[in-house]
A and B are shown apart, each in its own frame.
Chain A
Amino acid sequence: MNWNFVRLWTVLVYLFMFLPVAVVVLLSFNANQFGSFPITGFSFRWFYELASNDAILRAFKTSLLLGTLTAIISTTLGVLASLALVRYKVPGSNFISTLLIAPILVPEVVLAVALLLFLNFLSIHKSFFMLLMGHVIFTLPFVVLVVQARLIGIRRDVEEAAMSLGATPIQTFFQITLPLLAPAVFAGMLFAFTISFDDITGTLFWKPGGVETVPTQIFAMLRNSISPEINALGSVMIFFTVGVPLIGAAIARRLANKQGR
């Protein structure tokens, strides 16, 4: 391939990915009372309005709690399952792996319907708990993939050495394996958190009436029109979902570097 053409093409692809997002950030500082062009001046006004919007603040709290719990539960399940698949000979391990990543391959709408109808059949009504279960099930595959990849890279010898020196398997896990696995555990949790924080399709099916997460709140607000507040909220979300993982990745890298020494 012609290298200059490829380079130009790549620049265009990156522009395509980033320009729309940049426009959201740009417009969130627009003084204009409509959430669109022309830009009439620079203002923090919409961020203030956002901070005093109860519905949005409530949605933020819900999303934070939901994302955090999802991350903790699905990472715990994912780490345990990955340990079994990588460290033991399990009959049918290929099948089990496929089963664990199946939630990615089932269309989210179908997964949402199935879970909704099944829990309703059991007379379990829509609740925060049900929403949480739903989020756990479709973040699990990502955790399993990340953790497994890292676990394969950790040499078995280290664990065996610890055990031959008298450590119990549980001691070995907490003092040897888990610290080595920390970057992947961390990455898995971040993954689960951001996927949960961002999810909308499943959430629309599972959320109890009156409960909104940030994405469903935005979705509801979009039915009217794009208000400048949505752009401001978009900017905050972009900071949250990009800034937080970037800081997280920096921490994970430091953790990994420490181990290297």
Chain B
Amino acid sequence: MSIEKREARQPWILLSPALTSIALLLIIPLLFIVVYSFWLRTATGADQVGFYLDNWHEVLTDEFYRDILLQTLRIAAITTIVCALMGYPAAYFIARSNGNKAILLLLLMLPFWISYIIRTMSWINILGVSGAFNTFLVGIGLIDEPLQMLYNEVTVILGLVHFLLPFMVLNVYVSLEDIDQNLEDASCSLGATRWQSFLEVTLPLSLPGLAAGGLLCFVLGAGTYITPVILGGPRDAMFANLVFEAIITQLDWPLGSVLSLVLIAVLGSIVLLYNRFLGMRQLMKGLG
């Protein structure tokens, strides 16, 4: 074999373990659930192999599924907007502060490492009937009876914001860091007020970071399963809960496959739209 040929083969040897894993554990399984979605679960509990559209028909026409999908997208959208409103100023502060940015960023990363289920559960300690907030309100005599604040859509959104906010702040921070600060000074010296120069220079230049953070918040929020179970009421199920129900509880795997594919189609098209207009590079910057 010539040296060139050997050279050309080397990267593929290095890549093959990772690519084989991705193919075997991600790509082929995803293609496989497409096949599975056309099978049928029979009354006896066995899967009938074939090409049936029944599950697809049920999921695409039943209002129950449509409503939960819309509810999921609404919760994810509100979460994303709240994350943006809370996260942008914080990211701006970190990027423009003269203090120790490394410490501020580290503090922000800490919640990332704190167990997701612990963080989700911690809100029960805050908002529960005998939680911190109720104890405080009763203590100062504002209310006589503890309020029922948990287990509704608001607490689901609260839990999701708590989980996803660092993704937003990091992404916005990364794009703010890339902006030459002289631009702001220049616009000010040309007569813009601080606020004007923020609105017309900094904000537009940081939009890619905002979009990357928003994409992550939305996709991760819409795919979530645990938060609605712990912090939501019976009516606050999200789409991932349906998938879990179908697969683990009812063992109706063909139905679960259809539901999974609907979820991935909806969220995938959002990722594709993002990729079309902004490209994946921005997202990698924020994640790295």
Contact = CB atoms under 8 A, between A and B. Distances in A.
Interface stretch (B54-62, B63-71, B83-91): B83-91
A6 B91 CA distance: 10
A20 B243 contact: no
B219 A117 contact: no
B280 to A, nearest CB: 6
A1 B223 contact: no
Interface in B91-148: 92-94, 107-108, 110-111, 113-119, 121-126, 128, 130-132, 134-135
How large, as a class, is the contact surface on chain B? 35 or more
Contacts of B244: 109, 204-205
A194 B113 contact: yes
Given A16-B162, A90-B15, A6 B93 contact: yes
A200 B113 CA distance: 14
A106 B260 CA distance: 10
B222 to A, nearest CB: 7
Interface string A25-43: 0010000001111100000
Interface string B3-47: 000000011101101110110011011101100100000000000
B114 A237 contact: yes
B247 interface: yes
A116 B36 CA distance: 12
A109 B241 CA distance: 9
Nearest to A238: B114
Contact of B198 (A1, A76, A85, A110): A1
A160 interface: no
Interface in A37-89: 37-38, 76-78, 80-81, 83-85, 87-89
A27 B264 CA distance: 40
Nearest to A37: B135
Contact of B165 (A17, A23, A37): A17
Interface of A is mostly: helix
A76 B18 CA distance: 9
Contacts of B108: 14, 17
B53 interface: no
Interface of A: 1-2, 5-7, 9-10, 13-14, 16-21, 23-24, 27, 34-38, 76-78, 80-81, 83-85, 87-90, 94, 96-111, 113-119, 121, 133-134, 136-137, 140-142, 144-146, 148-149, 169, 194, 197-198, 200-201, 204-205, 214-215, 218-219, 222, 226, 230-231, 234, 237-238, 241-242, 245
Given A105-B271, A218-B121, A237-B114, 15 more contacts: A10-B90, A13-B89, A16-B165, A80-B17, A103-B22, A106-B26, A107-B223, A107-B240, A110-B223, A111-B29, A115-B26, A140-B22, A205-B247, A231-B125, A238-B115
